[in-house]
Amino acid sequence: MKSDPLFSRNRHPNETIVKIGSEKIGSNKIALIAGPCSVESEEQLESAALFLKKQGVSVLRGSAFKPRTSPYSFQGLGDEGLRILGAVRKKTGLCINTEVMDVRDVPKAVEVSDMIQVGARNMQNYDLLRELGKIKKPVLLKNGLAATVDEFLNAAEYILQGGNENVVLCLRGIRTFETKTRFTFDPGLIPVLKKETHLPVMVDPSHAAGTRELVGPISKAAIAAGADGLLIEVHPDPQKARSDAEQQLDFVQFEQMISELKPVGKAIGRTL
C-alpha cells in the first residue's frame, strides 16, 4: 500500500512549527517577515532593518538574486547583495530571509541567512528543491504562478524528502483572467492547505496585490482565514525602489497596517 506523503496531515497530526531565531511560524503568534523586495544598498537595507526591528519584526527579507520577467530589469546585486545581507544581519541581530534561484548559490546564501526563499517562478525547479532538502535551514516555498494545491504540496515534498523538515508554504496568488490585482489570492486555500498538511502557511499579500492600497485588506483576509504569518514588502522610499515600487509599503504605512491587523488577529484568538 502506498504511504501518505511527508507533507500530509495523516503523517503528522500536530502542526509543524518552524523556528527562525525567536520567531515560531505555525504558533499562536502570527509571524511577520518584512523588508524590501530587492537589496539595493547597505543604507537602504539597514534603514529598513532598524525600523522593522523597532516594530518587533525579527525576520528581515531582501533579495540579492531577482527572478525578473524581463532580462533588462534590475537583476539584483548578486554576491554584493549577499554581503550586505550578512553585514546587516550582524549589525542588527535580525534573521534574514533571502531568495535563491540557482543551486550553485545555495551554500553562500545559507552562510548569510536564516531562511531560504524559493520564488514562485522556481516552485518546480526540482534540482533546487532537492538541494534545499539537504540543508537544515528553513525554506519559504512560494506557490507557482499557475500551480495547483497538489503541485504546490508536491514541490514541498521534494524538500521534505531530502530530510529538511523546516518548510513554510507561502501563498502569493496565481495568474487568472482578472487584472485589477496583480495576481489572484484565494483566502479559501488557507483552510484547504491546513486540512491537507501540517506545514505552516504564510501569505504574501504584496505580490498578490501589486499596489500598496491592497496590501492591508488582503492581509486582513489572510489572517481571518487562518494564515500563520505574512510576508510584506517594506522599503524606506518605495517610489525609488528598483523593483516592485508600486506595492512596497513605506514605514508609516507598515506601522498603520500592523495596528489595523492586531484586532483581526485578536478576533480569532491570535496575536501579532
Q: Which of residues 119-158 bind Mn ion (CB under 5 A)?
A: none
* Contact predicate 169/123, CB 8 Å: no
- Which C-beta is closer to ligand PEP: that of 202 or that of 221? 202
Measured from the CB atom, is 67 or 263 closer to ligand PEP?
67
| Nearest to ligand PEP of 207, 235 (CB atom) | 207
212 contact, one of Mn ion, ligand PEP, none, CB 5-8 Å limit per kind: none
| Residue 119's binding partner out of ligand PEP, Mn ion, none, with CB under 5 to 8 Å set by partner kind | ligand PEP
Dihedral pair phi/psi, residue 163, rounded to 5°: 110, 0
**Residue 198 binds: one of Mn ion, ligand PEP, none (C-beta under 5 to 8 A by kind):** none
Amino acid at 108: K
Start-to-end CA distance of the chain, whole Å, equals 43
Nearer to ligand PEP, 36 or 216 (CB): 36
* CA 91 to centroid of chain Cα atoms: 22
* Shortest distance (Å) from residue 112 CB to ligand PEP: 17
* Nearest position to Mn ion, beta carbon: 37
Angle between helices 189-196 and 149-161 (to 10 degrees): 40
Cα 199 to Cα 186: distance, rounded to the nearest angstrom: 18
Q: Is 37 in the site for Mn ion (CB under 5 A)?
A: yes
Q: Rounded CA gap, 22 and 110, in Å? A: 18
For residues 165 and 207, give the distance between their C-alpha atoms in angstroms, rounded to a whole number: 26
Angle value at C-alpha 150, between 2 and 7, nearest 5 degrees: 60
Rg (CA), the chain: 17
Binding site for ligand PEP (CB under 6 A): 37, 63, 67, 119-121, 142, 172, 204, 207
d(CA 132, CA 150): 20
67 binds, options Mn ion, ligand PEP, none, Cβ within 5 to 8 A by partner type: ligand PEP
Binding partner at 172 among Mn ion, ligand PEP, none, C-beta below 5 to 8 Å by kind: ligand PEP
Q: What values do phi and psi take at 202, rounded to 5?
A: -105, 170
- Among residues 128 and 241, whose Cβ is nearest to Mn ion? 241
The answer to whether the beta carbons of residues 153 and 197 sit under 8 Å apart is yes
x/- contact string, 227-266, with Mn ion (CB under 5 A)?
-----------------x----------------------
Query: What are φ and ψ of residue 38, in 5° steps?
Result: -115, 150
Binding segment (CB under 5 A) for Mn ion, from list 17-25, 34-42, 147-155, 214-222: 34-42
Which among 30-38, 79-87, 125-133, 208-216 is the span making contact with Mn ion, rule CB under 5 A?
A: 30-38
Binding stretches for Mn ion (CB under 5 A): 37, 244
